[in-house]
Structure 1
Amino acid sequence: MGAEAVLVAAGWLWVALGAAGTDEPQVLSEVLFCQPDEPSLGLAVTLGTDELFWFNFSGSSWVRRLPELPPELPPELEAPELVLKDAEFCQALLALLTNATSEQLAQARGIPVAKLFPLQPPALGKPNTLVCLVENISPPAVDITWRADGVPVTRGVTHTGYTAIGGVTFTRFSYLRVTPGAGTAYSCVVTSAGLNSSTVAYWVAQEAGDTETLWTALCGAAMALGTVMALMGIAMVVVVAWRGRTGG
Structure 2
Amino acid sequence: MGAASGRGALVAALLGAALGSVRAEPSPHTLAEVLFCQPDTPSQGLAVAFDAEQLFSFDFPSSQWLPRLPDGPAWPADTEQPHELQHDAALCRDLRDLLTKIATGPLPMPEAKGIPVADVFLQQPLQLGHPNTLICMVGNIFPPAITISWQRNSIPVTDGVTHVTYTPTEDLAFMRFSYLAVTPRSGDIYACIVTRERDNISVVAYWVPQDPVPTDTLATAVCGAVTALGILLALLGLGLLVSSCRRG
Normalising by structure 2, we get a TM-score of 0.73
Which runs of no fewer than 5 residues in structure 2 stay unpaired?
A: 1-6, 233-248
The 2-side partners of 1:82 and 1:61 are apart by 11
Task: Classify 1:210/1:111 alpha carbon distance in 2 versus 1 (closer, same or farther; 3 Å).
Answer: farther
Q: CA RMSD in A?
A: 3.1
Deviation per residue, 1:13-43 (Å, 9 max, x gap): 8599456988643211211000001100101
Task: Classify 1:131/1:104 alpha carbon distance in 2 versus 1 (closer, same or farther; 3 Å).
Answer: closer
TM superposition shift of 1:103: 6.2
The 2-side partners of 1:210 and 1:93 are apart by 61
**Matched AA of 2:98:** L
* Aligned pair partner of 2:208 in 204, 209, 220: 204
* Aligned pair partner of 1:34 in 32, 37, 62: 37
* Aligned pair partner of 2:184 in 171, 176, 180: 180
TM superposition shift of 1:106: 7.4
Residue equivalent to 2:72: 69
Residue equivalent to 1:52: 55
The 2-side partners of 1:50 and 1:76 are apart by 23
Task: Classify 1:174/1:181 alpha carbon distance in 2 versus 1 (closer, same or farther; 3 Å).
Answer: same
The 1-side partners of 2:171 and 2:102 are apart by 23
**Matched AA of 1:53:** F
Contact 1:146 1:154 in 2 (8 A): yes
SS state at 1:140 partner: coil
**Matched AA of 2:29:** Q
* Aligned pair partner of 1:96 in 92, 95, 98: 98
Write the mapping of 1:25-174 to structure 2, written as runs, cut at 5 A: 25-67=28-70, 69-70=72-73, 72-75=74-77, 77-101=79-103, 102=105, 107-109=110-112, 110-174=114-178
TM superposition shift of 1:96: 1.6
Deviation per residue, 1:199-247 (Å, 9 max, x gap): 110110122139987xx79xx8xxx9xx9xxxxxxxxxxxxxxxxxxxx
Task: Classify 1:172/1:106 alpha carbon distance in 2 versus 1 (closer, same or farther; 3 Å).
Answer: closer
In terms of mean alpha carbon deviation, does 72-81 or 199-208 score higher? 72-81
Task: Classify 1:136/1:51 alpha carbon distance in 2 versus 1 (closer, same or farther; 3 Å).
Answer: same
Contact 1:19 1:25 in 2 (8 A): no
Contact 2:52 2:170 in 1 (8 A): no
Structure (1/2) with the larger helix percentage = 2
In terms of mean alpha carbon deviation, does 99-108 or 194-203 score higher? 99-108
Structure (1/2) with the larger strand percentage = 1
The 2-side partners of 1:46 and 1:205 are apart by 32
**Matched AA of 2:178:** S
Deviation per residue, 1:67-89 (Å, 9 max, x gap): 5633x421453111110000000
Task: Classify 1:106/1:56 alpha carbon distance in 2 versus 1 (closer, same or farther; 3 Å).
Answer: closer
Aligned length: 208
TM superposition shift of 1:149: 1.1
Task: Classify 1:95/1:167 alpha carbon distance in 2 versus 1 (closer, same or farther; 3 Å).
Answer: farther
Task: Classify 1:210/1:20 alpha carbon distance in 2 versus 1 (closer, same or farther; 3 Å).
Answer: farther
Task: Classify 1:85/1:25 alpha carbon distance in 2 versus 1 (closer, same or farther; 3 Å).
Answer: same
Task: Classify 1:42/1:105 alpha carbon distance in 2 versus 1 (closer, same or farther; 3 Å).
Answer: closer
The 1-side partners of 2:11 and 2:82 are apart by 22
